[in-house]
Amino acid sequence: MASLTAVFGGLFDPVHRGHVEPLCALLDAGVVDTAIVVPTSQAVHRADAQVSGSQRMEMLRIAYADDERVQVNDIELCKSQPSYTVLTLREFKALDPGAHLCFVLGADWSGGLDDWYQASELPLLAHLVVLNRPGPGLELAGFKGFSQACHANDLRVKPAGLCYAFDGPELDLSSTEVRDALKRDGKASGEETNKQSKQWLSNALPEGVYQYIESNGLYL
């Protein structure tokens, strides 16, 4: 059967364990074989990042440094135009026409794909893998053009167009929460308050990423 490569895009502003651990679990479970993590340049559906592209790239490299299965790619950061998933998938497909790609979507995305740029082409280029989070999962039937996969191995048989839900680690985190906590940590007064703030951030962020943020004074 064909090998599978996950394409995981986002602002990663900053990358946190809610990004890292579900993707690693997807790899550990053998649903995909390798992964490409792609930080966006100018987000179309969300506010722009609060730190530079190079800083987000460095945090991602730190976060996935110990996993040889994961490649961090700056393909979208090198462009001046907004980041469109379909264009990125086209480029990866052109590099390896026989590759089976799986576009990874976090279950916190509730807007559907209908209003995405050239959304009708997405099922022709890749499968869709939804990383479910705590609480109700996404309704897979809502993704037009994608058929629901019954088993992970189905993704290896058909080259594109299937949607598969993966129940990964239950980490209810968002980058917004992390940024807010980092701001509070920067303004924290009192030993106990500061200790609690740092403990929460230590649990939310990969150790090296937290050290990088503190060393560079980010998100204050």
**Does one domain contain both 163 and 181?**
no
**Does one domain contain both 76 and 134?**
yes
The predicted-structure confidence for 118-142, as pLDDT tens digits, reads as follows: 999 999 999 999 887 655 555 655 6
**Does one domain contain both 109 and 147?**
yes
- Any alpha helices (H) in the chain, and if so which ranges? 17-28, 53-63, 85-95, 122-125, 154-157, 175-187, 191-204, 207-216
Please say if the pLDDT value at position 101 is more than 70: yes
**Pick from 167, 183, 206: which residue ends a domain?**
167
**Does one domain contain both 179 and 161?**
no
The enclosing domain of 23 has a CATH number of 3.40.50.620
CA 75 to chain centre: 15
Please say if the pLDDT value at position 109 is more than 70: no
**Does one domain contain both 74 and 180?**
no
d(CA 178, CA 57): 17
**Does one domain contain both 111 and 188?**
no
d(CA 194, CA 197): 5
Query: What local confidence, expressed as pLDDT, does residue 112 receive?
Result: 67
- Structural tokens at position 182: 């980092």
**Does one domain contain both 126 and 180?**
no
d(CA 56, CA 109): 20
Closest to 63 in 3D by CA, of 37, 101, 102, 34: 37
Asked which of 8-22, 35-49, 117-131, 197-211 is least confident by mean pLDDT, the reply is: 35-49
**Does one domain contain both 204 and 138?**
no
Q: Which residues pair with 104 in a beta bridge?
A: 8, 129
Query: What local confidence, expressed as pLDDT, does residue 90 receive?
Result: 97
Please say if the pLDDT value at position 53 is more than 60: yes
| Residue range(s) defining the domain that contains residue 144 | 4-167
Please say if the pLDDT value at position 143 is more than 90: no
**Does one domain contain both 99 and 200?**
no
**Does one domain contain both 67 and 124?**
yes
Asked which of 47-51, 54-58, 92-96, 193-197 is least confident by mean pLDDT, the reply is: 193-197
d(CA 81, CA 65): 28
Whether the Cβ atoms of residue 89 and residue 126 lie closer than 8 Å to each other: yes
d(CA 11, CA 38): 8
Q: What is the number of structural domains in the chain?
A: 2
Please say if the pLDDT value at position 187 is more than 70: no
User: 207-216 and 191-204 are packed helices; what angle lies between their axes, rounded to 10 degrees?
Assistant: 130
Query: What local confidence, expressed as pLDDT, does residue 138 receive?
Result: 54
**Does one domain contain both 185 and 141?**
no
Supply angle C-alpha 16, 116, 137, rounded to 5: 50
**Does one domain contain both 120 and 207?**
no
- Structural tokens at position 103: 């576009």
User: Exposed (0-12), middle (13-18) or buried (19+): which is 130, by Cβ within 10 Å?
Assistant: buried
